């Protein structure tokens, strides 16, 4: 059994493949012409679109952290053994 070496593709190669698909060429046809599996082209297309998704997720994470800090500032957690805070909530 021979060991297969992992093929590496340049950014330019990936960009070219994704551009061909973006211009209307079917993924299976582009994959066949470039001698790669079609799943790679789908993966490369996702990776090119990811930066916007990642940026949006980071913005959402920052906003969540800011809101948690603000919530903690406005509603501090009761200190351990602080019966006053517990009894006022029950009244």
Kindly report, residue by residue over 14-41, the tens digit of the pLDDT.
999 999 999 999 999 999 999 999 999 9
* Integer-rounded Cα radius of gyration of the chain: 26
Q: Does some domain include residue 34?
A: yes
Q: Does some domain include residue 19?
A: yes
Token pair, residue 1, equals 């059994």
Question: What would the pLDDT profile of 44-86 be if each residue is shown by its tens digit?
Answer: 998 888 777 777 888 899 999 999 999 999 998 887 776 555 5
> Which letter does DSSP use for residue 23 in this model?
T
Enter the pTM of the model: 0.53
Token pair, residue 5, equals 């070496």
Q: Does some domain include residue 47?
A: yes
Q: Does some domain include residue 88?
A: no
Q: Does some domain include residue 63?
A: yes
Residue 31 structural domain: 11-75
52-70 as b/e: b if 16+ CB within 10 A: eeeeeeeeeeeeeeeeeee
Work out how many domains the chain is built from and give that number: 1
Q: Does some domain include residue 90?
A: no
């Amino acid at each position: 059994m021979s060991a297969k070496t992992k093929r590496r593709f340049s950014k330019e190669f990936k960009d070219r493949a994704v551009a061909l698909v973006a211009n209307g060429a079917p993924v299976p046809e582009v994959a066949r012409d470039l001698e790669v599996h079609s799943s790679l082209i789908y993966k490369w297309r996702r990776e090119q679109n990811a930066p916007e998704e990642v940026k949006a997720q980071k913005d959402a994470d920052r906003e969540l952290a800011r809101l948690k800090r603000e919530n903690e500032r406005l509603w501090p957690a009761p200190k351990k053994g602080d019966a006053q805070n517990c009894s006022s909530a029950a009244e």
